[in-house]
Structure 1
Amino acid sequence: MPLKRTPPQTPTNSSPLPRPEATVMSALLHDDRSTLQSSKAEISMHPNPVIIDAATTSQPPTTLFAPRLPPHFSGSDSALNKHENVTVRPKRKFVSEEESSMRDFMQEMKNMFVTFEESQNQKYAYLQSTLNEIKEKNLEIANSLDFLSQKYDEIILKVSKLEADSKNSQSHIQGLEAKIEHLERKARLCAVEIRNIPKINPNETKEDLCKTAQIIGEAVDVQIKSEEIKDIYRLSSKQESAKPIVVEFTTLLKKDKLLSSIKSYNRQNGNNKLNTTILKMSCPDRPIYVSEALTFKAKRLYYLAREYAKINDYQFCWTSNGTVQLRKRENGPIIRINSEEDFPKTDK
């Protein structure tokens, strides 16, 4: 008797299933096909297959290759449509030793990366806080620099103003000094200064000084009367025994005549110039120097002019009416020296 086969039942519902139900049905049909193939193989391998006749038994015929459904599924369409009650049991995969070691290695690497990330986050937070502090300090420094710059600008303005005031004051002082110098030269215009005459009498009087001036005049053939002397006195000096004598004449002519006569006398008597022997004083022989009575500034300029003449080969250096003058050669131009800036510039 031929074996009766019952094909797998398929849902008769013509409406399309939802996407989850279609997936479940596809899996069930795949399992039924696998079961059917395995059953065929078992029957073919069995030597005496037992076939039960449906006519000789009271039990209903059994379908050998019917699809196996899960216990909680039925072949009805209503059960298949309830996809929310379908549970698929996942199959356990075999894990090899290499895969297990690889998973452990990956987990260890993951832990290392997590630890490294936490460390880097801590360092980044520290760096961020440090950077914020640096920014705050830089802001304070910038504010301080702005404040200092503002104060510096104010100080520069004040210094500029003070420099301008100083220049004005300096020019005003120089003007006043020039006026004072002019007045002093004018006051000493008729005066001469006699140096290197010792003080013999401790109680020396102006009459004694007048007699000394008259003796010097007689030595150079210049008569000096008492009424031609306006004033006579000794200057203060470190050498108490030989303080300079200042003779103020009433007229400029008398002063010029005396100075020119002394120059002629010294020129004519080069070996025996004017000295203390003509005064018949009980003292060692000393040369007597007679020149114009110069102010302190004029004396300094006269000293600098003599040094300048020696260095730069100037033949003549003298004073006239309180002014220092230079001349390099005979009949050459005369250079008036009123200040240190008046000296000719030389190439060094």
Structure 2
Amino acid sequence: MSKNRSIRKIMSCPGCCTPISKAESITCSAKACKKIFHLLCTGTSELTTHQKKNWTCPYCQAAAKVGGDNSRTPAKASENVTFRNKPNRPEICSQTNSTLTIDVIRDVIREELNKVKKSMIVELEESLRAMVKHELKGFSESIDCLEKSVLFITEEYDSIKKDLACKTETIQYLRTENNKLIETVRCIGTRLEIMEQHNRSCNLEIQCVPEYKNENIHTLIKQLAQTISCDLNESDVHQYTRIAKSNKNDQRPRSIILKLATPRIRDKFLAAVITYNKNHASEKLNSSHLGFGGVNQPIYVAEHLSPANRALHAAARLKAKKKGYRFVWVKQGKIFMRKDEDSEYIYIKTMELLEKIV
């Protein structure tokens, strides 16, 4: 058994750590070495017999170059040794040259690791490239969808902007037209008020005359004219009637509207009333002068005003009472105010002018 192990130890190639036969081996010619190598490991298959006898192994050649011991110089250091795939025979390698075997294994492992590393790097690069390509494809689709959405929104925005500009222009035109119409309506309203007042230029309004079911208004008017000493012919009176109350809750009797022939006759009748009241300050015109019994009720005679002028006259009287104006009167359908006898009169045309009075 010991002899066989010795033989197997001697017949193992230091380069590849595998058994070799004599026919495929070559022996180092150095006396201190005498190591046996595979012909393929040393690349000496083409050498002649004489050359093989004088051949020295790479270890001896390396030792000769540095002039030292060659026991730890690896066979791989020389380009003349070719390493082949080694079988799993760790006992042979350890018995032949342990240092050489560890270095070789280290180099092989390093080479294999480098190969695996390169392979892993390549696979990782391919995987990353595929993953990035897949992600970029998704991003590209999302960007395309976003571009379409932005384009659609832009088109809608442009359409809305154009439509808004058109509507803004229309609104501006309608606003201008509306202002014109407002001014036209105001002008027409003013003219209508003037016409309404003009139609009442011959009318007088007799207020607070007691009202009865079978009354004779014509007789009442004649009695009133006699009381104030105003000559009034039958032809001077065109029409007379009581008018509806503006306020149904008002307890005063309905007013009598007297339409005379001309504004001059109306003014003469009105002047006669004013003169009578001045001359009879203690007993001004009242219901007893018209033949009514009971409590005497004051009777007022004034110009027949249009609804707008009537409201303006009422507001002017309230303003005069509030601000201390003593005189408010109506002449020719126009309303005037005066604070006292020495002050100038104010012509009240509109409510806006009345509000400015202080």
If the length of structure 1 is used for normalisation, what is the TM-score? 0.61
Matched, 1:209 2:200: no
Matched, 1:298 2:309: yes
1:335 corresponds to which of 339, 346, 349: 346
Q: 1:87–1:94: structure 2 CA closer, same or farther, 3 Å change rule?
A: closer
Q: How does 1:1-348 map to 2 (within 5 A)?
A: 39=30, 41-42=32-33, 65-66=54-55, 94=106, 124-202=136-214, 204=215, 208-237=216-245, 242-266=253-277, 272-281=283-292, 285-343=296-354, 345=356
Query: Any idea what the Cα deviations from partners look like across 1:254-274, whole Å, max 9, x if unmatched?
Result: 333433443455566666543
Letter matched to residue 321 of structure 1: Q
Answer whether contact 2:30 2:56 (CA < 8 A) is retained: no
Q: Deviation at 1:321?
A: 0.5
Letter matched to residue 255 of structure 1: R
SS across alignment from 2:33: helix
For 2:123 and 2:322, locate their aligned partners in 1 and report how far apart those are by CA, in whole Å: 95
For 1:97 and 1:90, locate their aligned partners in 2 and report how far apart those are by CA, in whole Å: 14
SS across alignment from 2:30: helix
With 110-119 and 257-266 compared, the bigger mean Cα shift is at: 110-119
Q: Percent identity?
A: 18
For 2:117 and 2:285, locate their aligned partners in 1 and report how far apart those are by CA, in whole Å: 124
Q: 1:68–1:99: structure 2 CA closer, same or farther, 3 Å change rule?
A: closer
Answer whether contact 1:214 1:225 (CA < 8 A) is retained: no
If the length of structure 2 is used for normalisation, what is the TM-score? 0.60
Letter matched to residue 290 of structure 2: L
For 2:318 and 2:136, locate their aligned partners in 1 and report how far apart those are by CA, in whole Å: 79
Letter matched to residue 217 of structure 1: A
For 1:329 and 1:119, locate their aligned partners in 2 and report how far apart those are by CA, in whole Å: 102
SS across alignment from 2:106: coil
For 1:244 and 1:303, locate their aligned partners in 2 and report how far apart those are by CA, in whole Å: 16
SS across alignment from 2:179: helix
Answer whether contact 2:284 2:298 (CA < 8 A) is retained: yes
SS across alignment from 2:186: helix
Answer whether contact 1:193 1:293 (CA < 8 A) is retained: yes
For 2:130 and 2:279, locate their aligned partners in 1 and report how far apart those are by CA, in whole Å: 114
For 2:316 and 2:178, locate their aligned partners in 1 and report how far apart those are by CA, in whole Å: 30
Answer whether contact 1:327 1:333 (CA < 8 A) is retained: yes
Query: Any idea what the Cα deviations from partners look like across 1:82-124, whole Å, max 9, x if unmatched?
Result: xxxx997689651699999999999989988987776666555
For 1:309 and 1:132, locate their aligned partners in 2 and report how far apart those are by CA, in whole Å: 79
Answer whether contact 1:214 1:223 (CA < 8 A) is retained: no
With 182-191 and 287-296 compared, the bigger mean Cα shift is at: 182-191
Q: Deviation at 1:245?
A: 1.0
Q: 1:61–1:104: structure 2 CA closer, same or farther, 3 Å change rule?
A: closer
Letter matched to residue 237 of structure 1: K
